[in-house]
Each structure stands twice: as C-alpha cells, then as structure tokens.
Structure 1
Amino acid sequence: MDTITRLIELARLRATVDKRCLLAGATEMKVEPLGDAEAAFHFVLDGDCTLDLPGRQVHLKGGDAVLLPSSQAHTIRTAGSGRLRASVETPGDAFDTIRSPSGEPATDIFCGHYTVGSSAGRLLLSSLPDPLVVSFDAADDSVRILSELMRLEARADGPGTAAVLDSLSGALLAMVLRRGGLPGVAPWTAIEDRRIAAAVAAVLQDPAATWSVERLAEVASMSRATFVRHFGRHTGATAAAFVTSLRMMVAADLLTDPDQTVATVAARVGYQSESAFSRAFREATGITPGRYRRENS
C-alpha cells in the first residue's frame, strides 16, 4: 500500500461537503471554526476569491484547493462592483447553497470539512502546512473530471448525492496530499525526492525496525550528511522526530484492536519498553495508550 493511501486509512477520515457557493459581485462568507478533529476545505471550480485568515490573505482561483488543518475561523470574499454584501444561504438535503443576493454567479466553490476518527488523523493534520494551498493545472484531466462530476452531482441533487460528493471530496484530499502546495509550503506527503520518499515509506511499512539515521540514509541511497540535509528540507523535521510521529500514527490504529495488548503494540512500533512507548504516545497525542484504547475500541 502506498504512503498516502496508508495515511488516509490510518486517519479514519470522512469527507463532508457542507455548502456549494455560487457568488457574484462583492460578497463575503464567514466560516466558523471547527473542532480539533476536523479540517475545513474549499475547492474553487471557477472564478476567484480571497481567503481571509487572521494576519494573512490568500488569493484563490479556479482549480485551487485549500485545506485548513487547524480549522480556524476565516472568511471567503469575492471582489466586484457595488458595496460588500453578505451571502444568502438556502438549506438543502445533500448540502446548503450559498448565493450572492444578486448577479450572475462568477465564482463556484465547494466548501466542506474532513473529520479524522483517530489520533493518527490528528497527528497527520498537525504535520501539514496551515493553510495548505494546491493549484491544480487546468490541463490536469483527473481534476477536470473531478470538478465536472461534482458539478453534475450537485445539479442532480437526488438520492445518494451527499454520499457521492463526500466520496469525491475524499478523492480530492488524496490529490492534494500527493500534489504538494505553493512554493515553500509543500506537505511532506508530496516529497518530490523519491529517495527520501522511499525512506518514509519504509518506516511506515515496518515501524518496528531500528530506524537510525544511518539506516534511513542507506534506504535512500545517500550519505548520512546528505540524507539529513535533504530530509530536513523535505519534511521540516529531524529524522528521529519524524520516525516517532509515524510510529504513533500506526500505534493509534493498532490500539483499537482489542486483541492487541499495549505491550504488543509497543513492540510492533519499535519500543522494547511499554513505559517508554506510553510516554511517547502521551507526548504525541495528549492521552495515555490505555485511555485511548478505552475511548476508541
């Protein structure tokens, strides 16, 4: 199983489309903050808008997708003639529709959120740039087809529409994680250096192994010094911290199996001492392995 598919599986992720926004003129739409197990997303099909965050603005255009791992409060704005007007929301069965008070819609956006059902998912979200913005090429057939499918399903708005849109939004996340972001803020899931990507995949496939920097460098076919330099640039973390994070993601998944003891889980993610594993798990997730098991089994 490839790295991104495995990460999404560990996260126990569920996608939900909340709104379709058809905006014209000078319009604003305020989005309330979400919980720590949720991440808001916006997928701009046509037109352009501005994402307003505390202390930062991000311009978005057709083909852009943005993920907000922290799901802080934010505002979507569209420019146009006339005074700024608030959007109007119409409830629907599959999703709500946000429209400008007047004018022909120029900007088409699907808005929703991803919910993670595990500590692995929370760790994944916390490891990503915030916001994570991906600009898909207009010639990218997979994104073009995805956009059209979402439009067609939204227009139909019939039985199963919510399920189809949610599934398509799940596919969108996989595309975002593998595509990378704007210069300087690409997620580690989109590592372009295949040698570093191979080392990451190796840890995820066998977290119990002894992953020293030397061994990781060997997997990557690099010298130790070159590996350390490249790994830090692509992941933004030290090798040791990164290995621990991946191990805790796998451990969170294993702990939901009632047939696995905490000691067994510790061994399966590379810890000979249950107490050392418990300390690492609590530091990463804020909860002990025993309590996590009770709350998630």
Structure 2
Amino acid sequence: MDLLSRLLHLYPVEVALDHVCKLGAPWALENPPTNYGVAPYHIVTSGSVWLYTSGFEPLHLHCGDVIVFPTGAAHTLKADPDSLPSLVRVETGSALPVAVNDEVGAQSEILCGYFHFEPGIAGPLFSSLPSLMVVREAGGKDMQVMQSLIAILGCEQRATGQGSEVILSQLASALFAIILRAWMSQAQTQPSMLALLSDPRLVRGLYAMLEDPARQWSVEELANTCHLSRATFARHFVKVAGMTPGDMLVRIRMAKAAHWLSRDTRSVAIIAEIVGYQSEAAFSRAFSRFHGKSPGSFRRENGR
C-alpha cells in the first residue's frame, strides 16, 4: 500500500454529496461556517463560478475546478462579481436534491457536499491542510481521472436507478483521495505529515513508522532508513514536518489506537501493545494527553 493510501486509511474521512446547483445568472449563494469536523466542497461541472471568502482574493472558477474548506470557513459563490442573491428552490426526484432558480442568464452547475472527519482521529490530517484548497482543472493525469469521476458523478446524480445513493457515496470517497493527491501536486504544503510525502529525503522514515508503529524507533534508526546522518535527518524532519520524529510517531500511534478503539472489541491492554506501549497504564496516560479523554471514554463515544 502506498503512503497516501496508508494515511487515508489511518485517518478515515466520510464523504457526502449533499446537493447539486443548476442556476442561471444572476445568482449568489451564501454558505455559513460549518462545525469543526465538517469540510464543505464544491465541484464546478459546467459554466463558471466566482468564489468570495475571507482572507483570499476573489477566485474565478471554471468547469472541472474543485474547492474545499477544511476548516469550514464561510464563503459565497456567485455567477459574477455583481450578482446578488436570487430566489432558489430545491427540487427532489433524482439521486440528489437540485437547487434551481428561474433566471435565464449563463448557466452554471455545481456539485456540493461535505467531507466529515472525526477530529480526534483525522484531525492531524486536516490540520495539514490550509483553510482553502483549490484544485484547478488544467492538465495532468490526476486532472484526467478527476474529470472522469466528476463526469460520472454528474451522470449518476441525474439518474433515478436503484443504488444511486451508494454509488454516489463511493465515487465521492474516491474523489477525495484524488483531490488530495492533485492538490499536493499543485500546492506548496505547509510543514506537516503531508509535506513528508513530497520529500524524497524523508519519506522512507515516515513509511517505516507507518509500517511498524509499535517499534521503539530511535532517531538514528529512522535516519538510517533515509540514508542520512542522525543530525541531518533530525534537522530536516523538523523543518518539513513541523515536529520531531518522536512526536510524529506518537501521532501515528494515537491515530491507530483511536482507529482500533472505535472499530474493534479487543481490550485496551491488547491495543496498547499493538501500538507500541509495554503497559496499559502508560498507554492510557499517553492517549489521555493526546485525545483529552481516556481510551475507555473514547471507545464509549466512538465505538461502532
């Protein structure tokens, strides 16, 4: 399994397609902020859209462009800079609700949804992302795959056949992985776990920790996997990841522990051993410091 796949497995994200907008200019849609753990996204499937959000210059988006708000920031979508809100109604009957208006200007179509993540588990992944992610359509293998998925999503949302809701959900989950991969190829990531994926000097160290988080890794051992001196590895790791190798190992262990606690019935003692702790007490202290609650409380609140 490649590293991005491992990270997405380690930090699970649920994807929902909420509705589709089919609007004629002029129009404007105001989107309020969402709670932490809910990241809105919009995919322009035809026409063009203007985006306004605090801290950024207005962005003109075109067919195939994708925007994601990992921190749930408030934002406004418009047909053009001068558009004002118009009456919009929601029609049902297809796989997704459709927001429409009666204006006859230039037509735009937008798929809208949310990425839902459990802050205690996937929080470290989303903290690696900026408040606004923009993936432009132009060029590249990822863009071709994303265009194909967007086209299928558009066709499926217009369908009324059995299984459409499940198909849309699965396609949207695949789209998140592709959006993240495409964004990483286009943007300069801030110091984070994701930044390590793009650094050929350090990526083997991250892979080693993901592959065997229970091992008591020393900085020297991790440096050896990257064919670097201990000092060089430690210095570059902190610069790229924004944390020490030891802190990164704790994050990986705590994410894996949260995953097992929420999805498995094995005892806390066994899970502690799986993620590298020699005693349940030491694990419980570390887990409580990181997640703000005991393993037992976390399991009761998040168990499936």
**TM-score of the alignment, normalized to the shorter chain, above 0.5:** yes
1:252 and 2:288 matched = no
State TM-score, norm by structure 2. 0.83
Deviation at 1:206, TM superposition (A): 0.9
1:131 and 2:135 matched = no
Which residue pairs with 1:160 in the alignment?
A: 163
Which residue pairs with 1:199 in the alignment?
A: 205
One-letter code of the match for 2:251?
A: S
Structure 1 stretches (4+) deviating beyond 4 angstroms?
Answer: none
One-letter code of the match for 2:189?
A: V
Pairing of 1:235-246 with structure 2 (within 5 A):
235-246=241-252
10-19 vs 117-126, which deviates more? Answer: 117-126
**Compared CA separation, residues 17 and 196, structure 1 to 2 (3 A):** same
One-letter code of the match for 1:185?
A: T
Which residue pairs with 1:32 in the alignment?
A: 32
State TM-score, norm by structure 1. 0.85
Which runs of 5 or more structure 1 residues have no equivalent in the other structure? none
Deviation at 1:241, TM superposition (A): 2.2
Q: For 1:23-42, what per-residue CA distance to the aligned partner results, in whole angstroms no more than 9, with x for missing partners?
A: 44343212233333322222
Determine the C-alpha separation between the residues in 2 that align with 1:114 and 1:79.
Answer: 27
SS at match of 2:262: coil
Q: For 1:205-225, what per-residue CA distance to the aligned partner results, in whole angstroms no more than 9, with x for missing partners?
A: 211112232222221222334
**Compared CA separation, residues 295 and 85, structure 1 to 2 (3 A):** closer
The Cα RMSD (Å) is 2.8
Determine the C-alpha separation between the residues in 1 that align with 2:127 and 2:11.
Answer: 12
Deviation at 1:239, TM superposition (A): 2.3
**Compared CA separation, residues 63 and 74, structure 1 to 2 (3 A):** same
Q: For 1:165-224, what per-residue CA distance to the aligned partner results, in whole angstroms no more than 9, with x for missing partners?
A: 221111111112223345333674362233422222221121111223222222122233
1:217 and 2:191 matched = no
Which residue pairs with 1:84 in the alignment?
A: 84
Which residue pairs with 2:56 in the alignment?
A: 56
Query: Any conservation in 1 of the 2:73–2:131 contact (CA below 8 Å)?
Result: no
Q: For 1:121-180, what per-residue CA distance to the aligned partner results, in whole angstroms no more than 9, with x for missing partners?
A: 233323333223333434532122112111211222433222222211111111122233
Pairing of 1:48-197 with structure 2 (within 5 A):
48-57=48-57, 59=59, 60-79=61-80, 83-86=83-86, 88-93=88-93, 94-116=95-117, 119-139=120-140, 140-181=143-184, 182-185=186-189, 188-189=193-194, 191-197=197-203
SS at match of 1:22: strand
Query: Any conservation in 2 of the 1:119–1:285 contact (CA below 8 Å)?
Result: yes
Task: Kindly tell me the number of residue pairs found equivalent between the two proteins.
Answer: 296
**Compared CA separation, residues 66 and 234, structure 1 to 2 (3 A):** farther
